[in-house]
Each structure stands twice: as structure tokens, then as C-alpha cells.
Structure 1
């Protein structure tokens, strides 16, 4: 196990610890880091209005897309598992394909195009719901909702496959034993047998969905641009990219990353406690 732990420390644990240490400094890559204490964190929550917008958008995004995508992944996997093997393989590929396809945003950009040729505008105009095209990807009222929809569409990825694998590897003798012990329908079988058996896959899926919902950036950048108008779809990760990759204020960027890490860690601990109660 030594090679794994060595690589884990070098490429995962050490960068996290280094980022936490740099978050208390002013560091622009060219000069030696200068200790500033809690100034970066004070600036984040007191002076940086854009970060507060990004924080609100990220929390709203995580609260909506995280649970919805997690539940959708499991329910679809549970339903697909009932199909015959050949049909199941095809349907699994169809649901998983968007998460591995290149430039999938083009479909949604055409659909929500701001002219009358966009699919959504064309449909609404044809049926008399609107008289003029709506600028879906430029109007702050619609941006975050559209990004959420696209993210939900892309969310059937690794967690979805983990749930499929967990359902496929479940010991069927447990189902037979449950029927003898009084399990009367599929819902009781799901709660008392399937979910407790799949706790490792459920935990893995939860971690993946929490990470993707908090770390959303590519969807927002590709759909509404960077920065988005009035920062309507600005997230913590896009704010991090701004200071880390464009301004090269690495100390401040590390403070942003530390706040995001703490949010993810706290959410994961909470979800772990909830999943331990499954089947009780």
C-alpha cells in the first residue's frame, strides 16, 4: 500500500495542505508569499460582493441539483435494472452518453438561442405564448435555471454507473430471505434490502454528486459566458478560476478553494450520517 499512500500524499493531501497554508498569504506566483493572516477570508465575506453572489448561487445550485440528480440516478438505475440484459446495456449507454460526449452544450445553446430560430423561442412564438424572442442566455432571470437544467441532464455519469453496478452485484438470496421474513412489496424490498446492501455505492454516488454540484463551472461558462451578465450564474469555482487563472492572486484563490473544500466536507459528513440510517 506504500506506493498508493505516497502518490496520494504527493498529489492530493500535500496540495490541499499547501493551499490551506497559502490562503493566509498574499502570493502572486512571482514573489515570495507574504503572511496576511485572516485578511483573505475577511475580504471574502465582508468586501467581496461578487463572492457573496457566487456563494448564494452555488448553495442554491447544490440544494437543487444535488438531491435531484442523486435521486434521479438511483431511480433510473433501479428501473433500468429490471430490463433484459441487452436492452439494459443499450439504455444505460443512452443515459450515460451525455456525460462523456464532447461539446454537448451546443445542443442547449441552439435550443435556448435568443433569436426566433431557437427551438424554445420558436415553439413559444408558434403557440402564442410570447410575441418576441426571449434572450434566454443573456437575461439574468433565466440563466441560473437554464444552467441547472443542463447540469441535471449531464448528471447521469459515474454515480449512475455505480448504482447500476451495485444493483447488478446484489446477492439475490437476500431478497428470498426477506420474502420469508415478511417483506411484502417492492418498496419494502428497496428500503430494507436493496438500499442497505448498496451503502458503499450510495456513499460513492453521494460524494460524486456533491462534488459535481458544488464544483459547477464548465456548464455556466459554456452556456452564459464568463463572467455572466450581472454575475447571475457566477459560482465559487468560476470565482476561483478568475483569481487563480486570470489574476494570479493565488493566496486569495486558495482562500476561496479552502471555503469550498470546507463546504464539501461538511456536506459529505452530513450525507454519511443520513445514509447510515437507511434501512433502520
Structure 2
């Protein structure tokens, strides 16, 4: 009788202790989530909302007035904005595919078990990603100068007879920017592909070899389909990065010659700090980037065959 009473007394105490412990653990968990949520809202969503409100205002400096959709209508008649969009889209449709293809090929080569010094090559190719944006841009500016190393090398090997105006010719200036961002970000995408390839069962390739599949066929029939989600991810992130391109253009060509390399992000900077400050219109241009990112991301999801896009 005493033993039964003791058990009945222990169970409510144990239940109360478990409830208190569960409440305490839940409170600790929610405290971490709440802090992170508040910080995200404060530093991400609040500025986004403020920028959206600002995009419906216009005026010099902080003397702003509500103008409705005038700023958005102005985008279609602004020749500088149109030029910046054209330049950015050119970088996007040329540089991103080149970078993705190079990263894929390099990752396949570095995934070969027979390759020696793989660690060295992986580090060397990834190293540009962690270099200072300003530092490497300045180096590229000197390399591709009229009397720079690139021109001297091409003249010495008799590929050209006179220096190419890499920084002052509209066409070659774009080529220089494309080379610069490809050099920097190819290794970044390579790491994603290399990590994914190392998770692919090698028996799949061995079975393909037994069936007589060539290396070319294995690449397109096995590697590409297996890496499809990673390719989609890197394509979207590269698209976002290219649409926000600023540092290379600012430090190498400053948007010249004659706005021929100007990007949308640099135009936002000019509207805010270089020209007479028009923060309202600058916010409108920034939201144009957001809209472009959404459109290009949806297109990429559709091309990749994602039914949830």
C-alpha cells in the first residue's frame, strides 16, 4: 500500500519536472530564433521596405516628395539606365555560361583519381575568390593597360602589331571586365561541382565504361544530369552576382569609356553619391535589379524543368 502511494506521488512530480524542462528548453530555443528573426527583420526586411517606400519619392538629397510611379516610368526613358541594363545583360549572357562551363570542366578534371597534386590545383584555382576585390581589380587594370603585360606579351609572340586598347575601347573594355570576373569566380563554382562529384558513386561510371560509353558520353549522360541541381543553384547565384556587378567596373574602367561598361549597380552609386543625390530614383533602379533577378531566376527554373517554379 505504501509502495503504491509512493509511485502515485512520484509520477506527478516527474511529470511536472518534464513539463518544466520542456518549457525551459523551448524558451531557450525560441530566444535564439527570436534574436535571429529580429536581426534579419531589422537589417534586411526593414531596409527593403524603406527602399520600396523611397522608390516612390524624388528630390535632391533628403528633400524628397511623393511622386507615385514617376520614377518607374522614368526608367524607360532614361538613356543611362538603358545603357547600364544593356551592358549588364551582355556580361550576364556571355560571362555566366563561360564561367559555368569552365567550372564544370575543371571540376571533372580535378576529380580524376589519377591526377597528381590535386590539392595544389584546387587551391590555386579557388584562390582568386578570396583575394581582395579592389586589389585584383587594380592588378587587372595594370595588366591590361596600353603598355601593360598583356599587350607586351601579345606583341612579343607576334599575335598583334600594336597595343590593344583594353580599357579605352568600348568592345575591349567589356572583354576585360568579362575576363576579370571569370578569373575571380570560376573557382568558386568549381568547389560546388567538385563537392557534388565526390558524392557520385564511382560504380556508375564503371558501369558506363563497361557498356562502352566514351568520356564525352559519360560527361553529358551522367555528370550533367547528376549535377543538375547544383548547376541550377550556381547559375542563379552567378546571375544575381552579375546583375549586382560593381567593384570590377568601378575599379578597372570606372564605367567608361562613355558608359560602355557601366553597370546598374554603378549607376545606383552614381545617382546616390556622384551626381546630385537622388536617393528616390536610386532606390527605384535598385528595385529594377530585384525585378530582373526574379525574372531571370524564374526563366532558369523553367529551363531546368523545375515544376515548382
* TM-score when normalising by structure 1: 0.83
Q: Distance in 2 between matches of 1:211 and 1:57?
A: 15
Find 2:239's aligned residue among 207, 210, 214.
210
Could you say if the C-alpha distance between residues 128 and 15 of structure 1 is closer, same or farther in structure 2, counting changes exceeding 3 Å?
Answer: closer
Q: Distance in 1 between matches of 2:180 and 2:288?
A: 25
Structure 1: tracts of 5 or more residues without a match: none
Give 1:272's aligned residue: 301
Q: Deviation of residue 108 (structure 1)?
A: 2.3
Find 2:230's aligned residue among 176, 201, 207.
201
SS of the equivalent of 1:114 reads: coil
Find 2:272's aligned residue among 222, 238, 244.
244
Q: Deviation of residue 219 (structure 1)?
A: 0.9
Q: Deviation of residue 69 (structure 1)?
A: 0.8
Give 1:130's aligned residue: 161
Structure 2: tracts of 5 or more residues without a match: 1-29
Find 1:41's aligned residue among 72, 81, 88.
72
Q: Deviation of residue 93 (structure 1)?
A: 0.8
Give 2:43's aligned residue: 11
Q: CA RMSD in A?
A: 2.9
Could you say if the C-alpha distance between residues 135 and 87 of structure 1 is closer, same or farther in structure 2, counting changes exceeding 3 Å?
Answer: same
State which drifts further: 197-206 or 267-276: 197-206
Q: Distance in 2 between matches of 1:13 and 1:61?
A: 29
Q: Deviation of residue 63 (structure 1)?
A: 0.8
Q: Distance in 2 between matches of 1:201 and 1:91?
A: 21
Q: Distance in 2 between matches of 1:52 and 1:190?
A: 39
Could you say if the C-alpha distance between residues 16 and 70 of structure 1 is closer, same or farther in structure 2, counting changes exceeding 3 Å?
Answer: farther
**CA deviation string 1:154-201 (max 9, x = no partner):** 12243221111111222445556x649968344444444433433442
Determine whether 1:65 maps to 2:95: yes
Give 2:285's aligned residue: 256
Q: Deviation of residue 64 (structure 1)?
A: 0.5
Give 2:7's aligned residue: none
Could you say if the C-alpha distance between residues 125 and 148 of structure 1 is closer, same or farther in structure 2, counting changes exceeding 3 Å?
Answer: same
**CA deviation string 1:120-155 (max 9, x = no partner):** 332454438335x44431233421121111121112
Q: Deviation of residue 81 (structure 1)?
A: 0.9
Determine whether 1:53 maps to 2:73: no
Q: Deviation of residue 259 (structure 1)?
A: 0.8
Matched positions, count: 270
State which drifts further: 13-22 or 254-263: 13-22
* TM-score when normalising by structure 2: 0.76
1:29/1:248 contact within 8 Å kept: yes
Higher-Rg member (1/2):
2
Q: Deviation of residue 92 (structure 1)?
A: 1.0
